Each structure stands twice: as C-alpha cells, then as structure tokens.
Amino acid sequence: MKRIVFLSLMFLIVSMFLYVPSTTAENEPYTQWSLPEDAKARLGKGGINDITCSQDGALFAVASKIGIWIYDFQTGEELALLPERTGLARPNVYVRQNQLTERTGSINYMSFSPDGRFLASGSHDGTVRLWDMNTWSEIGRLEGHTDAVKSVLFSPDGSTLASRGDDNTLRLWDINTQTQIYTLEEHPWWVESVSFSPDGQIIAIGGKDDIVRLWDVDTRSEVGTLEGHTGYVSSVSFRSDGRILASGSHDSTVRLWDVDTRIEIGTLEGHTAAVNSVSFSSDGKTIASGSNDGTMRLWDIATRTEIRRLGSPSIIVTGVSFSPDGQTFAYKHPWVNDLVYFLDVNTLKRIDGPNLGGSEHTWDVLWVVAAQVKKKGFSWFRTMLEEHTDPVLGVSFSPDGKTIATGGGYGRALLWDVATQTKIGRLDTGYVYSISFSPDGKTIAIGSSHGLLLWDAATQTKIDSLPIRYVHSISFSPDGKTIASGRRDVRLWDVATRTEIGRHWEHIGDVKSVSFSPDGRILASAGSIDGTVRLWDVETWTEIAVLRGHTGWVNSVAFSPDGKTIVSGSNDRTVRLWDVATQTEISRLEGHTENVNSVSFSPDGRILASGSDDNTVRLWDTRTEISRLEGHTEKVNSVSFSPDGKTLASASDDGTVLLWELTQLTTETNSIAADVNMDGVVNIQDLVIVANAFEAAEPDLNGDGVVNILDIVIVAQNFK
C-alpha cells in the first residue's frame, strides 16, 4: 500500500512541472496562421486558384484553396493569410491583425485596386469581398450574385468595381459606399469579356449573343450596341486614347469600332478559328490577336492589314499582350498552366526570360510580374510559390518522427522538418500517389506516375526506379527488405536486388492500398471495383482469405500494431474492422458522409483515424466516433500518425497537410480508461486494481500488452 501511495504522490508532483507556456501570437510562423481548432501546424499553402499583383509591384496575392496569401513582392515574405474558411479558425489566431469573418465559399478571382489599397475577391458562393491592404482585414462584402463570381475588375480610378458571374449578370459596385449601383440582367447570354475605357467612363461588354454593348458608368445606361459579329465575342480591348475598340470573336474575325459614333471601321480577316484575345500596342498603331488556329497575328491599324504571323497549328493561343514600351510581345496557351512566352516584336525571336504560368488576373498585370521575376530570377518566383501544391495525396512520418514526406499531383515530393515546420527538401518524382519511409528511415519509396522510385533520405538523391509505371500504393515490410506495390496487380520487390519476386492479379480494378502485418508474414491488399480486402501469405505467396462486406471500392487498409485486427475504408462511407484470425467483420464504424479514402491505427492501437471526401478526419475507438477534426477545405486523401502517437497528419486535395494535436484527445481517452472499476470516478481504488495486476494482460490501459508502471501513471494523472 505504501508503494501505491508513493507512486501516486510522485506522479502528482511531477505533473505540476509539466506546464509549457504558450508563445505569443507575434512569434507565430505562417504555418500556424488561421489554423482550425485542434490543429497545431499547416504544411503547404494550398493549391492555387488565382494569382495577381498590385500595379506598383509591391504586393503579390495568391488565392489558394484555403484563403488568400499576401506577399511582399520585393522580398517574397509572407505578410498575411486572409482565410477562406474563417468560421473554422481559432478566435485568437495570428494573421497579421486579420479580422476573422464568417465562413464563405472558395475564392477564385481577385483584383487589386489601381492604387493597391484594396483587394477584391470573387467567390464560388456568389459574394465579392473587399480587403484593406493596410490592416489585412475584410472591410466589405458585396452580395447580389446568385451563382459563382467569374471575375472582378476595378475601373481605372478605383471607384467602381465590375463583377460578372455564372448567374449571367454583370454588376457594378460603388467602392466608397459598398453598394450595387447597376445590374446588367438584360443580357440574354453569358458575359464573356469586359473592359473599362482608359478614363473609366465606358464599359465594353462582349457576350455569347454576338454583340458588344457599351455602358456609361455615370448614367448607368446602355449607350450603344455594336453588331456585326456572327460568333460570340470572347475579347474586347480599348486603344489607349479610348477612341477605338477592338473585339475578337468566335467568327474568326477581329473588328474595330469607333467608340463615339458606334460604327464599325474595319474588319481584320485571316484567322481560321475563334479569336480568343486582342490587344493594342501602347502607341495604338498595332493590334495583336491570338486564335484557336494556333497563330498570333499583328495587324496595322491604319491599313487594316496583317503585317506579321507566327505560331503553330498545334498550339491554341488564349492570350496576347504588348509590353508597355511596345518592344516585347507575350502570348499564352492553356497546355501547361497558361504557359507564357515572350518575343521580340521586331525580330519575333524568343527572348530569354521567365516563363510564367498564371491565371486570368496575372495576365492583367503580366508586365509588372514579368519585370519583377526578370529582376529576381524565375527560380526565385518558383520558390516563392513552391508550397502552393495541389493536391496532396500521400503523407508519411520518418521512423524517428523528425521528418514528414508529402507528395501529390504537383510532380514532386517535399520533405518537412517537424520541429521547425519548414521545408527541407524537394524530390522531382512525377505525380505522387503514395509515399513511405523504410523502417530504418534511410530510404523513401514513392509510388508515382514515373514508377516505383527509391530515394536516399539523407542525401535526397534518387537510388533507383523499379520497372513499373503508375504505382498507386506501396508498403515496406517490417524488416525493410521487401516492398509491396499495388496498381492493377499486387507485386513484391526485393529492395536489395531491385527485382520483382512475386505478382498476383486477383483483384478487379486498381489496387488502392497494400499493408504488411507487423510480423511481415501477411500482406493485405484493398481492391477498388471488387470491393474486397485480400490477405496473402508472404512466404508462399498464396491467398489466405478474401474479406467481403464493403459495398463500394475499398481505398485503404491497415493492420493494428498487434497484428490481430485489420481496418479498411471504403466508398460505401464506412470504416470496418476485421479479425485476422477468424477473417470476419467485427465492427462497422459509420459517420462519414462521403467516400473514406484513408485509415490508420495509432501506434498503441487504441485510436483509429480516417480521412474522407467529406473533408473531415474522424477518430474512433473500436466501436464509436470519439472526435471529428474539421479544417480542410477539400477531401482528405491520407492520414498518418507520428511514431509517438501525439500528432496526426492529414493530407488533402486543398494542397495542405494539417498536423493535429492529439495530446488533449489522449488525455480524455485515458481519463475514461483510468476508471478501471467504472464507478464514475478515478481514485485510489482504481490504482489498487492496476497495481495488483502487474505484468498481467488486463487492465492494460495504454494498450502495450502488459500492465506496468505506465498504466499506473495513467490512473494517477486522472485522480479526481
């Protein structure tokens, strides 16, 4: 009895020194900005929806899938995160004084005011938000659109904002009063292009009714319709003096209009397919056009004749633009993120310089971005955006818990230091489906579009590529000597010789997941179309059992740490537990509202984690849901526990990995388990029960297989 009292007093005293002071908000790194509740860090900044910069080149904005990131465009430093799902953020989170607001839809379009004081953003939920760039706070929400906002555009003086949406309307807003001043609803077809005149008095609107409409901003009335096109108008552009308007159409022509008289003054013919973009040179003497016929053409305004042509029939040109000095010409095509090329206007030769992948609004400020990137170098620009990845499909902790490897659809794997939450490596891999450290932590295996790749974790150099393509799932054996891979079949590979040592084809459809038992004797594989989990004897390479019960594709499978249980997640929205010995279903966990993509046991086997298309991570004991982790803005593809079980990493289509703090959850779970006699209170009686059961199998509170001093600690820490 004395021993028990001594131990309980000792642990109570020690617990008094376990307080860790919190750091001040001002010292928080950007990986901790706008975190959801229970999350302690975010790796990655979210996939890119739109990028733009202020006209003076001072600020750079990235609309990601988690919110808008604001950068100092001279230094590349993160200044603020304007959260997209702010309703889920902690109330005391540090976002450079950002005022948290209610949850809204995904932000897809942005535009800076000409003076750089404000940023306007358009969202999928139909709202337009205004942000103050001095305080990084939302200062207004403009509501009226009934569908997603497709673009936002400030007038040259910044007093008016035009927004167009999928509700087939164009709306004008007064920035000072934040009120809607006009709605163009009479337009019978979608608005395709909008342009302000240089003085901001006239708006030209091109639509799918083949007409260009002119609207007076002050009188808020239509002042002219320009008719003549026989295909919808995809681009409109004013000359710098505002007197001539050019329009490009799907009828393959470019037409020139006198803005004052509202009459057509020229038709430029020659393109053989839709014209997507038109642009005047700064001196107004030349106009450029880009077309689906793969050509960019330069036209003389005075003679209305083609003066140059370049391009390739295999390249669709979606944008054309002259530099401010008129000496350089840029065009883009949609094959690879709207890749931009630069040409010398006089020689039409490619100019060495940055190739910028961008969006609609980057194109609006193309030459500001190009000048900054040319000064700093394209590698600097790429590095600034490198953490904007989309999506993240796989995440894995190193065995020592110090490093996290992530990979996805962005053509590379990234390595992160867990302690500092900083990126420490980049592996160019192709599209990554699955990623895993070897048991000794020396090797990283990656299942990718380029095959099964092996990388040295220390030197971050590729060791080898095994002869198989598009590997969807991988798993190391516990001794690290074998790798299992899943694609259309299940294969075993000898790590030392890099050779295939076994193959099976029994699954129908893709093999979505493979997992070794802790003793390495059994391999479990999850089938897609057939909805089964199959168990294989690794030594004889024969099928042991087929676990049936799921009514949808099985996306993930994992063994419990003691090897007695298998967990599987499926498109039938369930998580199921299976007894390995009897090969029967022992539990079905329901709660997810969409496909379950990933499942994992905690290192002590007491908690299950599952990630789903419903954007949530759920934590379970063997029977019930015990916690729901919300914060991702798109589906969760992968979940992984740290080796010490204190952290859970979740990877999502939103382009981020969230690290979740499980200490509090573990404390709550331990509190329940510590009430050994279930009398509703944890006290000396529970401590006596545990002490008298030393080295027995029950009551094993921490799930390590034996009653020992650690179980006494759990009871002592939960005394009431």
- In the block, tokens 């002590």 appear at 604
Q: Which residues of 408-420 are buried (b: 16+ CB within 10 A; e: fewer)?
A: bbbebbbbbebee
Which pLDDT score is estimated for 621? 87
CATH at 287: 2.130.10.10
Please indicate, yes or no, if residue 34 is contained in any of the structural domains: no
Decide which of 643, 662, 681 is a domain's last residue: 662
Query: In this predicted model, what pLDDT tens digit does every residue of 289-325 receive, in sequence order?
Result: 999 999 999 999 999 999 999 887 778 899 999 999 8
- Token couple for 500: 């295939």
Please indicate, yes or no, if residue 318 is contained in any of the structural domains: yes
CA neighbor of 100 nearest in space, from 115, 85, 111: 85
Same domain, 509 and 595: yes
**Average confidence score pLDDT of the chain:** 86
Share of the chain above pLDDT 90, in %: 62
Residue 697 predicted with pLDDT over 80: no
Give me the mean pLDDT over the 480-509 stretch: 91
pLDDT band at 506 (very low <50, low <70, confident <90, very high): confident
Give me the mean pLDDT over the 69-87 stretch: 84
Q: Give the least confident one: 82-96, 244-258, 611-625.
A: 82-96
- In the block, tokens 């001594």 appear at 6
The H or E element that residue 643 is part of is: none
Q: Angle at the Cα of 180 (from 177 to 186), degrees rounded to 5?
A: 160
Give me the mean pLDDT over the 27-52 stretch: 90
- List strands edge to edge, sheet with 233-238: 233-238, 244-249, 254-258, 263-268
Domains in the chain: how many in total? 4
Same domain, 453 and 576: yes
Q: What's the rounded Cα separation, in Å, for the pair 660 and 550?
A: 29
Query: In this predicted model, what pLDDT tens digit does every residue of 103-146 receive, in sequence order?
Result: 445 888 899 999 999 999 999 899 999 999 999 999 999 999 99
Residue 714 predicted with pLDDT over 70: no
3-state secondary structure of 381: helix
Q: What's the rounded Cα separation, in Å, for the pair 571 and 586?
A: 19
- List strands edge to edge, sheet with 191-196: 191-196, 202-207, 212-216, 221-226
Same domain, 417 and 527: yes
Q: What's the rounded Cα separation, in Å, for the pair 333 and 319?
A: 7
Q: Give the least confident one: 348-352, 423-427, 489-493, 644-648.
A: 348-352
Please indicate, yes or no, if residue 383 is contained in any of the structural domains: no
Residue 719 predicted with pLDDT over 60: yes
Query: In this predicted model, what pLDDT tens digit does every residue of 647-692 receive, in sequence order?
Result: 999 999 999 999 999 976 655 555 555 666 666 677 777 667 767 7
Domain that holds residue 343: 194-377
Same domain, 706 and 563: no
Please indicate, yes or no, if residue 434 is contained in any of the structural domains: yes
The H or E element that residue 369 is part of is: helix 366-376
pLDDT band at 287 (very low <50, low <70, confident <90, very high): very high
> 357 Cβ partners below 8 Å, 6+ apart?
336, 337, 338, 339, 340
- Token couple for 361: 């609004």
Widest Cα–Cα separation across the chain: 106
- Token couple for 399: 């065995």
Give me the mean pLDDT over the 87-91 stretch: 35
List the alpha helices (DSSP H) in 36-100.
none
CATH at 691: 1.10.1330.10
Which pLDDT score is estimated for 186? 57
3-state secondary structure of 690: helix
Q: What's the rounded Cα separation, in Å, for the pair 4 and 477?
A: 42
Q: Cis omega before residue 699 (within 30°)?
A: yes
Highest mean pLDDT: which range of 348-352, 353-357, 502-506:
502-506
Decide which of 321, 342, 377 is a domain's last residue: 377
Same domain, 207 and 256: yes
Same domain, 483 and 468: yes
Could you tell me what percentage of the chain is helix, strand and coil, using 3-state DSSP and rounding each to the nearest 5? 10, 45, 45
Same domain, 509 and 526: yes
Please indicate, yes or no, if residue 31 is contained in any of the structural domains: no
Please indicate, yes or no, if residue 423 is contained in any of the structural domains: yes
Same domain, 199 and 294: yes
Same domain, 507 and 584: yes
Query: In this predicted model, what pLDDT tens digit does every residue of 138-195 receive, in sequence order?
Result: 999 999 999 999 889 999 999 999 998 888 888 999 999 999 988 877 554 577 889 9
Same domain, 558 and 451: yes
pLDDT band at 584 (very low <50, low <70, confident <90, very high): very high
Same domain, 371 and 510: no
Residue 279 predicted with pLDDT over 80: yes
Please indicate, yes or no, if residue 282 is contained in any of the structural domains: yes
Same domain, 363 and 226: yes
Decide which of 167, 185, 203 is a domain's last residue: 185
Please indicate, yes or no, if residue 555 is contained in any of the structural domains: yes
